[in-house]
């Protein structure tokens, strides 16, 4: 096989593996090239690279939807079974025993995940990211003598004035 044909074969092989969702690091190992060389080969054919990238992303989204669909079915089945068991209880003792068996953390995680998905679909935040008390830093307030402004002091003098943490 000529060098050109070998290079074309390797490039097509790279694109096939990439389209199948294989990581570039694994592709490089498979075709005995460095990751950088694999990227160079893919970028030498930009139209193919962009087309295959779109196919790969579509396959990935499809796979995620299938996984989420399966997860939803399992989750619904789990919640339906719990609901049926609760309905079947005829006494408070049976209900108390059932509640002891139910993993409340799992039920709460299901509720939180479902709620988050609805909020994301509506374009709302799913959590508030921050630190306790809301500020990611400490605020020091310098107490100035009455009638004075910071311009009346040098930086060294300001550092010597009493401060208050807020």
Residues 6+ apart with CB under 8 A from 164: 140, 141, 143
Interhelix angle 24-31/35-43, rounded to 10 degrees, is 100
Looking at residue 129, what is its pLDDT? Answer: 56
Residues 6+ apart with CB under 8 A from 55: 19
22-32: average pLDDT: 90
Mean pLDDT of the residues in the chain = 82
Token pair 């003598």: residue:
145
Q: Lowest mean pLDDT: which of 32-41, 50-59, 104-113? A: 50-59
Q: Taking the complete model, does pTM exceed 0.75, yes or no?
A: no
Q: Is the pLDDT of residue 140 over 70?
A: no
Q: pLDDT exceeding 70 applies to what percent of the chain?
A: 89
Q: Is the pLDDT of residue 121 over 90?
A: no
For the chain, the domains span: 3-88, 134-165
């Amino acid at each position: 096989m000529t060098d050109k044909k070998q290079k074309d074969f390797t490039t097509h092989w790279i694109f096939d593996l990439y389209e199948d969702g294989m990581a570039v690091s694994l592709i490089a190992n498979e075709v005995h090239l460095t990751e950088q060389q694999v990227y160079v080969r893919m970028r030498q054919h930009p139209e193919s690279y962009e087309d295959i990238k779109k196919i790969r992303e579509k396959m990935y989204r499809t796979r995620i939807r299938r996984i989420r669909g399966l997860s939803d079915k399992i989750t619904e089945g789990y919640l339906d079974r719990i609901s049926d068991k609760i309905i079947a209880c005829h006494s408070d003792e049976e209900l108390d025993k059932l509640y002891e068996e139910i993993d409340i953390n799992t039920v709460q995680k299901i509720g939180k995940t479902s709620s988050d998905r609805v909020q994301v679909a509506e374009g709302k935040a799913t959590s508030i990211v921050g630190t306790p008390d809301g500020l990611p830093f400490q605020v020091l307030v310098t107490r100035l003598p009455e009638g004075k402004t910071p311009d009346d002091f040098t930086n060294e003098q300001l550092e010597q004035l009493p401060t208050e943490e807020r």
